[in-house]
Amino acid sequence: MPTPQDLGGAGMAVPPRATTPPAMAADGTKAASPGAHVDATPAGILAPAPQAGQKQEPAGSHMVPPANALLTEAAAPVTITQDLRPPSVVLDGLFEDIARAHIYADAKTAVDAIPDESPEDLLAQYKAAKARPDFVLKDFVSQHFTLPERKTVTYQRSPNENVRDYIMGMWDVLQRPPDTQVQYSSQLPLPYTYVVPGGRFSELYYWDSYFTMIGLYEDGKIDLMRDMVRDMASMIDRYGHIPNGSRTYYLSRSQVPFFSLMVDLLAMHDGQVAYTKFLPELQAEYDYWMDGADSVSPGGAYRHVVRLPDGTVMNRHWDDRDTPRDESYPEDLVTAASQSARKPEEVYRDLRAGSETGWDFTSRWLADGHTLSTIHTTDLLTVELNCLIPHLAQTLSHAYALKGDKEAAARYARIADERVAAMQRILWDERRAAYIDYDWKKGESTSILSGATAMPLFLQMATPEQAKAVAETIRKNLLKVGGLVATERTNSGQQWDAPNGWAPLQWMAVKGLNQYGYDELASDIAARWMGRVIGTYEKSGVLLEKYDVSNPYISPKGGKGGGEYPMQIGFGWTNGTLLGLMDRYPQNTRVVLDHNPAADLPDRPTVRALPPMNAYGVQSDKDTIDRYNLPLVTVMPRPVAPTPSLPQVSSVGESAPTPPSSAPPVQPTPSATVAATPKPAMPATIATPGPAASAPPQSPAEASTVTPHGAATAGEGTTPAVAHDGAPQQVEAPAVPAVAPSTPTTPSVTASAPASQSTTPQPTTSQSTVPQPPAGASAVLPVTAQPRVQHDDPMPTLPPHVTDAPKESTATPQPAAH
């Protein structure tokens, strides 16, 4: 194998694997070996064999294995081969005893702790020690496990450190170097540098990373952003999907699929080479989420796929395991025990699927609206997931067009159009005037309004009429003094409900409303959110995971509780989106900072706003293409055989295929070779949504560039030049405006191990009937919305002052200058 090379990113290649034997402790036992490295030899991943009558997957894609196919152990004579089973399986019996005894205040500490010797030896010692009359479990654990270091920032910021300096300093605090494989650790090693969310979240998380990357883009840290995309691609290559987080106990599920949006964001700087380079991983991501789609009969479901009675294919959240979550083991035991009407396995599965949504937890997933044990996530077709899958199909269509595969490009374009039409029909709730999750088993809308209603606007998949209705619904029902609440449900006891607001929801709503011409409302949301976040920073000196946006008074503690852990500080997605909003609304920012002088330096210049741009229109220069042609660093575990004793993946619906007990290994799709001159994006053919009056006049170059559905998510940089024939010209990607020189001060670091908290939610109701296509029409309606031509964000007038007490907003932004 050739020596891995640095690809010009922030991270260096993983060094060669260690061949020295593990060190011995004074008592003769093996000590943890932090210097050991994973075997870098590429290996296949396991996939179920095709069922009888099942369509064979085309070349370039493969069926994705259920998580249980990965959960086995293989021995390596010299090198470390990572055991991909979760700690609850590896440390059978001992792990559950640790959880039930509440050895750690935060259950996640138990799964991140590193055993000092092999599971077999450790379990044998545990069995012998447990039989002694003087046995103390806590002492045994402290002797045989090493706790991972957790870094967090203190509430005392450095003198004269403004909010921008804080964010720049936090990149260093939250950044992690390329991983080396530590023996017996649950951490999945990553070959490139990455950024963690903060607090207890000390590994790479899937959807968090996209919103963190927005800040990296704004700060000009393109190498680090590119490395994070490579880390995501590395996990797809190794495991067939991006897990919830880079830990073995997350492998049985993924998280809301933002990978295609990450590639969009990277393409804003690197150009079209990003799409062709990551095409194999984009395809594998799609295969994972659509596994079993060709075999599921109407009314059935398999893993992430649901086929409705009329034949419409949609997606749900799912986890391949039906046991308590390793990271919340004691909490899940209590939750399942409190519900006598359901099998514990059903509760565990839905809790796990709820974690895959990223909203863990919310009344959106609770059947009675207030009791966690009634969670039924697998019954729901969620708004976000069923917008992101068609965006992934759109991205595949564009990437295949760049590769010259017209047939594949047309196929995925058709799939995307069908899925957008299905989303509009199934998830649009006319009575609520919003996009609402759909209970596919009951055949009705859940009726619960949430910030997810802005997702179709964010991805430009709403019709003009739907976008107008959503804007008004958001204004009336979700907008509070400090921004948008997660849902309309107040005091449910769940952290993803009111009064809490979350950074991703604000960002997607602001960008989505901008794209449909509702600039005044978008500016108002941005101003209120920035006032709440920066106002809290002035009081506390940190940025937080979530915020109470309903309280007229700003608390230094941020959001309300309700989660399974205390407030976390750092915080990746808050940092990233705040920087993005500050750059897009400089006048709003100036007012907020003037009202919070301790968060700003008087002589700090305002960074100018950056307009949105078309990610499909940015061309790659020669240096970028050469960088992408370098080999990727790979970190591959050895292939392993499935364990017949583990339970098979459960399924719903008679037509769901049954995974076999064994299957031959399938080699991962190799990385695509990048063409020197990528082909331009396919032109849009359907009219732009939104009133024409909402967009200001454009230059000839801007008028020729139509933004694809996916480009809305990135929204950074400047619009590239476009030739009169519609093909993008070869231009160099513009540099991100630099922040004025200042010496950032890295916040101090302390260790923490937060405690868990309990929850109690509020009731909900169900409504609506199954939306059906018109008589004589096909089950899939034609797409009625297409991307609109983007223009520079308006420069709004001064927003209302954000004060500790509530104050009505009366300021009205002026239209953009012509």
Q: What is the pLDDT of residues 412-456, one digit of tens each?
A: 999 999 999 999 999 999 999 999 999 999 999 999 999 999 999
Judge whether 153 and 542 are in contact, CB under 8 Å.
yes
| Annotated catalytic residue, options 326, 439, 538, 545 | 545
| Annotated catalytic residue, options 165, 360, 702, 716 | 360
Question: What are the structural domain ranges in the chain?
Answer: 87-146
- My answer on whether omega of the bond before 361 falls inside 30° of 0, hence cis, is yes
pTM: 0.72
The separation between CA 612 and the C-alpha centre of its own chain, rounded to angstroms, equals 22
End-to-end CA distance of the chain: 58
- Per-residue pLDDT reduced to its tens digit, 117-165: 999 999 999 999 999 999 999 999 999 999 877 655 443 456 778 888 8
- The whole-number pLDDT of residue 201 equals 75
- Per-residue pLDDT reduced to its tens digit, 306-333: 999 999 999 999 999 999 999 999 999 9
- Provide the total of helices (H) and of strands (E) in the chain, helices listed first: 23, 20
- Per-residue pLDDT reduced to its tens digit, 699-758: 333 333 333 343 333 333 333 333 333 333 333 333 333 333 333 333 333 333 333 333
Q: Enumerate residues 6+ apart whose C-beta is below 8 A from 162.
A: 593, 599, 600, 601, 604
CA separation for the pair 492, 479 (Å, rounded): 18
545 given a catalytic annotation: yes
CA separation for the pair 203, 224 (Å, rounded): 15
Judge whether 396 and 419 are in contact, CB under 8 Å.
no
Please give, one letter per residue, the 3-state secondary structure of 530-546.
HHHHHHHHHHHCCCECC
CA separation for the pair 419, 422 (Å, rounded): 5
Amino acid at 148: P
- The whole-number pLDDT of residue 555 equals 86
Indicate the pLDDT class of residue 635, thresholds 50, 70 and 90.
low
